[in-house]
Amino acid sequence: MDDANMEGKEWEGDFDPLADPEEKRHLLSVLESFRSYRRLAHLNGTHVRRQAFYSLPQEYWTMLSKPPFSFLDSLNRLDDLIDSNAELAEAIFTAGFKGFIAPTIDSDWVASIIPEKFARDEYRIYSIVMDHLNVQTTQNDMDKARSCINQFYRDWTAAGNVEREKCFGPVLEALNAEFTARSLSNPTLDRSEIKVLVPGAGLGRFVFDISQVGFSVEGNEISYHELMASSMVLNHTQKAEQFSIAPFVLSCSNHLSRADQFQTFAIPDIHPGTALAINEGSKVPANERMSMSTGDFCVLYSSPDYKGAFEAVATVFFIDTAPNIIRYIEAVRNCLKPGGLWINLGPLLWHQPPQGPKSPEENDHSHGYSYAHDAGIGDPGSVELTNDEVMALVEHLGFCIEKQESGTIETGYISNPRSMLQNTYRPVFWIARKR
């Protein structure tokens, strides 16, 4: 057993998820959802379809087994692509276990349960530990793991740049314009002096892109699925196009051809480690200008520690994740410097159903980053506002709206351009400045 396998934490902070039994159970469930991807995708993706296929009358399934249909060959191809997706899922599991769990486990105990032939296989070691801990996952976490794998198409493939450019492009333009305006009165201003916060950082691509143009940037994320996946791609990939994914393979509807369903894409389209080693646009090295924080956005960035910490906050497809949008606005206001910029792009697909008061049992067993006096997004109550109402609220709570555009951007979200079903967002883009 190599003790190096059990060294190093990638996420640091005041909140320790392993200190709380419920939070630890949730964390292990997330890890198990990635580890289970291969088995469950084969079960639900091909096994049940084979059963249904052979339930047809024999003359029907015999006909469909032959060209030009070759349905069984398609299922075999689907199995191969599931395995390809699973390689990514298992890499995320390995990175997540290594970052969150491995540093807390007694190396002597681990060595006692690992066969010598697996002593240098991190995935096998961590998987055996999970088996000994009798970890179970939930349907919700399994669904999130599947969604997370598909999200790599949008964030870390060349083809996904179509969506990224529409969503990230206007925000980057606004940040560049702000830097240019500030440079007029301060010609020696370096881009690294513009500190940007990205709440809901997801898989980390937008954080990475902001750092690439020279700004200092901090991403924030509460989802363990997203934290583990972003850490894997940013910190543990060895080269560009290391993995291949088929993001549409498990959806069998609205395809014109099997080739459309079986499209594959290489990830990452750019190797983050190599790109971060090339310092452009700033005097400060790129890897020193980019960081990630874990935890509840409302709790962390409403605290005195973050008061006036940033020149800009960039929210993309984020504000509609708030049960209580006022908490988000207050957190942005707190962490922005006077005159700081809030740049937002997204729809208002409110994620949370209306919430009433929670019972004491629910409050005690919530899966999130909470403190004794503040449950953040776990606080009771929710409200679903129109864009006009959100704008009025932003102004009421201390901002001046400098720009607002609607109907000028159309974009999908992890959408298959070849599908017969197309969901299109027409997000609002606005810029507000803290008074």
pLDDT beyond 50 at 302? yes
Domain coordinates in residue numbering, the chain: 21-351+376-434
Mean pLDDT of 297-309: 97
Structural contact between residues 90 and 37, judged by C-beta atoms closer than 8 angstroms: yes
The distance from CA 386 to its chain's CA centroid, rounded to whole angstroms, is: 26
**Residue 75 token pair:** 């299922």
**What tokens were used for 426?**
């027409």
Angstrom distances, CA of residue 234 to CA of 95, 256, 317: 11, 35, 21
Helices 122-132 + 71-96 axis angle, to 10: 80
The alpha carbon of 120 is separated from its chain's Cα centroid by a whole number of angstroms, namely: 29
21-351+376-434 adopts what CATH topology?
Rossmann fold (3.40.50)
pLDDT in tens, 204-240: 999 999 999 999 999 999 999 999 999 999 999 999 9
Tokens of 352: 């949370």
Left (φ > 0), alpha (ψ -120 to 50) or beta: where does 241 sit?
left
User: What is the average per-residue pLDDT within 3-8?
Assistant: 38
HEC string of the chain? CCHHHHCCCCCCCCCCHHHCHHHHHHHHHHHHHHHCHHHHHHHHHHHHHHHHHHCCCHHHHHHHCCCCCCHHHHHHHHHHHHHHHHHHHHHHHHHHHHHHHHHHCCHHHHHHHCCHHHCCCHHHHHHHHHHHCCCCCCHHHHHHHHHHHHHHHHHHCCCCHHHHHHHHHHHHHHHHHHHHHHHHHCCCCCHHHCEEEEECCCCCHHHHHHHHCCCEEEEEECCHHHHHHHHHHHHHCCCCCCEEECCCCCCCCCCCCHHHHCCCEEECCCCHHHHHHCCCCCCCCHHHCEEEEECCHHHHHCCHHHCCCEEEEEEECCHHHCCCHHHHHHHHHHHEEEEEEEEEEECCCCCCCCCCCCCHHHHHCCCCCCECCECHHHCCCCCCCCHHHHHHHHHHCCEEEEEEECCCCCECCCCCCCCCCCCCECCEEEEEEEC
* pLDDT more than 90, % of the chain: 84
Averaged confidence pLDDT in the chain: 92
Whose tokens are 């390995």? That residue is 94
End-to-end CA distance of the chain: 58
Q: Which residue has the higher pLDDT, 260 or 372?
A: 260
- Placement of tokens 């991807």 in the chain: 37
Q: How sure is the predictor about 4, in pLDDT bands with cuts at 50, 70 and 90?
A: very low
Query: Residue 368: its pLDDT value, please?
Result: 40
Q: How many CA atoms lie within 13 A of 58 on its CB side?
A: 0
The predicted-structure confidence for 251-298, as pLDDT tens digits, reads as follows: 999 999 999 999 999 999 999 999 999 877 889 999 899 999 999 999
With contact defined as beta carbons under 8 Å apart, do 185 and 353 qualify?
no
The whole-model pTM stands at 0.90
12 band by pLDDT with thresholds 50, 70 and 90: very low
d(CA 377, CA 223) in angstroms, rounded, equals 12
Is 337 within 8 Å of 310 (Cβ atoms)?
Answer: yes
> Which residue is associated with the tokens 């200092």?
216
Mean pLDDT of 6-22: 58
The answer, yes or no, to whether residue 15 has pLDDT greater than 70, is: no
